[in-house]
Structure 1
Amino acid sequence: MSAFCLGGFLTSLDIVIVGTALPAIAEAFTISSVQYSWAASSYLLASASLLPTWAKLSDIFGRKSIMLLGYACFLIGSLVCAISQNAGMLIVGRALQGAGAGNIEVLINICLADLFNIRERGLYIGIYSASAAAGVVLGPVLGGALISSTSWRWCFWINLPVGFLSLCCLINFLDLPNPHTPVIQGLKAIDWPGALAISSGTIMLLLGIQFGAALYPWSSALVLGLILGGLATLALFLFLQWKISVWPIIPLRLFSSASSVAALIICSCHGFSYVAALYFLPIYFSFVLHASPVTTGLYLLILTGPLVVVVASAGIIVERTGRYRFVIWTAAFCLTLGFGLFTNFPSHLSWVRVIIYQLILALGIGPLFQTPLIALQSWTKHADISSANSLYSFTRELSSSVGVVVAQIIAQNRLKQSMPGLLRAGLPSDLVSSLSRDFTAMSSSRISALSKPHQEHLGRALTDSLRYVWTLETAIAGIAFISSLLLRHNELSKNHNEVRAGLHKMERL
């Protein structure tokens, strides 16, 4: 369990800490906007596109060997990033990191399903999720400290000792059966058309979304071609899984239960909304409340800090009671209520609202990381557990990617409607022009240089734009709450059915 907790902490820490370091990296390499976008998206593309394939490989060749391969990818990628001399080298390293991180995330959940019965699983998944939440909490603080006191390269160097320690624990203590599948026979059993379809479809879709959000007009042929091509390829993947694949990567029988579908909808809504909160709350604190980077991090700790306790508590409740629906109902309600209260954020500092609203949202975000996974697993055949885990992780990754972009589009379009009023108020035309293109890229120092009346005008405009984001997230969270009411009770058994990897244990279509 120590190896799993270190792995969860490592991957979540890396995501947050590198996000803090990207501006410093861009300055060091003098990279273009296209290269900056690739440095951020290469990790996500590799992580999301390979998730289902990693799970299927573990079914064929065994969990431990495939997980060791994931650690190797992550650590080699971290080393490449740490010693990178140009943007191209950094992008390659980030892609390797993403491939490894996706492997570690999905294989840990699969291993927990192999090792523990579904009643105990809630507790251990809660412990693992709490360690991952700790990485999210410490990431901004540690990243800022490393960049200010040493170099951005230490944001990657730090992965090596932590990753090596986790790898040693994994090698020495993880005891799962090895199927000893012959390499050639195992490679022949992989659903290569399905793997290619889901990987290429995901990459095209996410690239189209990333390019449309940052580099090209949404109406451009490149963006439309990538998005439509990605959707068409993913549709082809579903057809392959339905009619062609002998050993499908994601068996469509996973969607046969209404409760399973409801759990996946909750997972999707949660991924869509919680990442937007982590993305736009710092913008509100920095641009509207004029908080310094350190103060912004402290404000955000009110949300992220309690997550460690909330996630672990949810796991304990599920393990002690054997019931997951009440936890999901309560969390989905708090998620909806929290985002609804966010629409009441003013353009000035209100400590009561900053504290209470974020604490309520934390009660919603925390339990929904993994409790819907328990619900999904309870309705899944033992032979399909690894596929269910990969589908759950894939759904969250895809929803998170789309959620931030959709929210940014809504906020940006709303802010554009405020441009004439900002110009009439006397704000500099070049600043207003910059805001109309991408307000998230604005420098907080530029806002600090404005006069007090101008800061107040801009603060009200930004607060109004963000209110539309919070309204969107409230609606999405509401869908999660409605979906949670569709979950049926399924008694979580204390009996453990051992799941063995290998071709002889895989179920054909």
Structure 2
Amino acid sequence: MTSAENTTVVMEKVDVDSAVVLDTDSIASSKTANANGQLDPGPPLIMDQEVVTLPFRELMVVFVGLMLGVFLSSLDQTIVSVCTTKIANDFHALDEIPWVTTAYLLTSTSFQPMYGKGCDIFGRKATFMFAITVFLIGSALCGAAQNMTWIILARGVAGVGAAGIMSTVMIIITDLVSLRDRGKYQGIIGSVFGFSSVIGPLLGGVFVDKATWRWAFFINLPIGVITMITVIKVLHLPHAMGSFKEKIGRVDFLGALALICGLVLILLPLNWGGSTYAWNSPIVIGMFCAGIVVMGLFLLVEWKQAAEPIIPFRLFATRTNCAVFATCFFLGMGFFSIMFFMPLYFQIVRQETATSAGLELLPLIVGLLMASIGSGFLVSKWGQYRPFIWIGLSLATIGTGLLSLLNVDSGRGMEIGFLFIIGLGIGFSMQTSVLAIQSSVATKDIAVATANATFFRTVGSVFGVAIAGTVFNNGVKNNLAPLIAINADVATVISDSYLAPSFGAEMEAKILSAYMMALRSSFHVCIPFMGLALLSSLMIGAHKLRKSAGPTPME
């Protein structure tokens, strides 16, 4: 037997303990490389014997399936928002409309970090299939709902599945292509989100006007089935090691429970504050305090008790990682606030329909698509991601500032130009920030790091919309107060802005001006959000984007 054959035999018979030692060495070398600013995610672990490199044609089929999964999740958020009023009217429960969104928001945000660790324990493919399955079950239950309580609970189930779709897709991509090539694929995935933001409201409007709102949920089923069949048939990754019992034993159930409870206690008052309850009401203050205490317990569990924590503290050991998480958080605050309030500008100030308001966002989406795809290919070509993050966040900050110049009678050119600039900024920065975190952690942490980057962006969106929403609501009340003092009936436009024309041309102009001032205040709040994202991104370090095709599967 030759020396080479001896080496092969030894490698095939290597035990798990040896693999762990080698993994420790790779992590140590990664830390050393990090000090030199050239961190490479490292080689696959020895326990991951197989390395999956799909032929280009199969890779494209898998990629289309993954894109459908992302489209499924992002479309659901936009299409349902158009249908909630019709749903509530059918069930005679208008006062329960906020709970339809709140249930989805609570579960999708709370479960998001867990999918990263789920990918490591149960495998990428199994975790993705679980997320899609739960999402489709929730969608089917929503479509079959017979009352408002039913649909609220079903939206919560759908949120559990939706929480893992986007982040799991990003994690799977890391296993199929090299770090250098991830930019272009993740850029295309990011553009799918923008496309669904336009098509969602249009489809929702068609279903409500021409068919039934139930199709807003049933449409997910055929798309989801195609996605599942594609992934099952074509995507073949090595299986995660260990029996199901052993995998269950690795799950941090106590940490998961503490995280879910803590986030619910914080997110609920963020949604209620300033609308359902006053910010200084006992229930809002009490829930905030309880949420902070429970989140403190979660951190204690992750630090002292959890063998495999959901959010490992080592992710925050480097400046780059902390900077990326902060950037994602503030970017979420700014971007999703704009996506929430710009339709209000078109619907309230410009008195357009919800469908038309969705079309008005087309310049933003076009900019996002162009920059997301373009930056992805350029990152893959040049191996540099930081300049795109900085350029993107600079454009986003400038574009957000320009929104404050909008007025009741602003020209269409201003609207298109401002939204296009913001779209370019978001497209350049959103997916490249995910690439930054993937390039700055060791192979074993890519899944949890990717999931947590998405988590911080989602939590940021909740905080951003809540803060900007409070500023907007207070602005509306203060600006309309003098008009209500003249005519008490003007108060009705607070709940239905389309009533403004009924008060005559002069009073209508004053009402729309009052709303415009409130919207301008909310845009002013978004400027520091984007500015903080830019400042945080300046601390992101430069790391090597390797060109080798060797992916790092964890299944």
TM over 0.5: yes
Conserved? CA contact 2:367–2:422, under 8 Å: no
**Alignment partner of 1:461 is 2:523:** no
- Does residue 95 (structure 1) correspond to residue 156 (structure 2)? The answer is yes
- SS in structure 1 at match of 2:181: helix
For residue 312 of structure 1, report the CA deviation from its aligned partner: 1.2
TM-score normalized by the length of structure 1: 0.93
The corresponding residue for 1:136 is 197
Q: For 1:174 and 1:247, locate their aligned partners in 2 and report how far apart those are by CA, in whole Å.
A: 27
- Matches of 1:287 and 1:322 in 2, distance apart? 45
- 1:295-317 superposed Cα distances (whole Å, 9 cap, x missing partner): 32222222223322221112111
**Greater Cα offset, 402-411 or 488-497:** 488-497
CA displacement at 1:272 relative to structure 2: 0.6
Contact 1:37 1:214 in 2 (8 A): no
Aligned partner of residue 146 in structure 2, secondary structure: coil
**What displacement does 1:120 show?**
0.7
1:481 aligns with 534
Spell out the pairing of 1:488-499 with structure 2 (5 A cutoff): 488-495=541-548, 498-499=551-552
Contact 1:382 1:499 in 2 (8 A): yes
Contact 1:118/1:378 (<8 A) preserved: yes
- The question of 1:31 aligning with 2:90 is answered no
1:419 CA drift (Å):
3.2
The answer for the alignment partner of 1:6 in structure 2 is 68
303-312 or 245-254: bigger deviation: 303-312
Alpha-carbon distance change, 305 to 443 in structure 1, aligned in 2, over 3 angstroms:
farther
Counterparts of 1:225-236 in structure 2, within 5 Å, are 225-236=286-297
Q: For 2:532, what is the secondary structure of its paired residue?
A: helix
The answer for the alignment partner of 1:17 in structure 2 is: 79
Shift in Å, 1:288: 1.2
Worse-matched range after superposition: 308-317 or 274-283: 308-317
Match of 1:238 in 2: 299
The CA deviation string for residues 103-138 of structure 1, in whole angstroms up to 9 with x for no partner, is 211211111112222111111111111222221121
What letter corresponds to residue 314 of structure 2 in structure 1?
R
Contact persistence 1:47–1:102 (CA under 8 A): yes
Q: How far apart, in 2, do the equivalents of 1:431 and 1:118 lie?
A: 58
Q: Which moved more, 1:39-48 or 1:481-490?
A: 481-490
Q: Deviations for 1:135-167, whole angstroms, at most 9, x for unmatched residues?
A: 112111111111111011110111111111111
Q: How does 1:34-53 map to 2 (within 5 A)?
A: 35-53=96-114
The 5 Å alignment of 1:180-195 reads 180-195=241-256
Alignment check: 8 A CA contact 1:264 1:392 kept = yes
Larger Rg: 2
**Aligned AA for 1:13?**
L
- The count of residues paired between Structure 1 and Structure 2 equals 493
- Aligned with residue 430 of structure 1, among 477, 489, 498: 489
2-structure distance, mates of 1:127, 1:182: 36
**Matched residue, 2:34:** none
Per-residue CA deviation, residues 299-350 of structure 1 (Å, 9 max, x unaligned), is: 2222223322221112111111110111001100011100110111112131
Matches within 5 A, 1:261-340: 261-340=322-401
Determine the C-alpha separation between the residues in 2 that align with 1:131 and 1:288: 29
Do 1:289 and 1:349's aligned partners in 2 also have CA atoms closer than 8 Å? no
> What is the distance in 2 between the residues matched to 1:316 and 1:175?
26
Report what 1:451 is aligned to: 504
Q: Secondary structure of 2:429's partner?
A: coil
Whole-angstrom CA distance in 1 between matches of 2:356 and 2:235: 41
CA distance in 2, matches of 1:497, 1:226: 48
- 2:236 equivalent among 164, 175, 189: 175
CA–CA distance in structure 1, aligned partners of residues 214 and 334 of structure 2: 31
Deviation digits for residues 10-31 of structure 1 (CA, Å, limit 9, x no counterpart): 1111100000111111111111
Give me the whole-angstrom Cα distance separating, in 1, the residues matched to 2:250 and 2:534.
Answer: 40
Distance across 2 between alignment mates of 1:499 and 1:221: 50
Q: Secondary structure at the match of 2:180?
A: helix
Q: Is the 8 A contact 1:290 1:448 kept in 2?
A: no
Q: Secondary structure at the match of 1:305?
A: helix
Stretches of structure 1 lacking an aligned partner (at least 5 in a row): 503-509
1:160-214 residue CA offsets vs partner (Å, 9 max, x unmatched) = 1111111111111112111253121111111122111111111111112122243
CA deviation vs aligned residue, 1:242-271 (integer Å, no higher than 9, x gap): 233221111111111212111111111111
- What is the alpha-carbon distance in structure 2 between the residues aligned to residue 281 and residue 458 of structure 1? 18
Which amino acid counterpart does residue 194 of structure 1 have in structure 2?
G
1:145 aligns with 2:198: no
Whether contact under 8 Å (1:10, 1:132) holds in the other structure is no
What one-letter code is carried by the residue in structure 2 that aligns with 1:216? Y
Q: Any idea what the Cα deviations from partners look like across 1:269-299, whole Å, max 9, x if unmatched?
A: 1111111111111111121122233432222
Q: Which amino acid aligns with 1:476?
A: F
Q: How far has the Cα of 1:500 moved from its partner?
A: 4.1
Shift of 1:52: 1.7
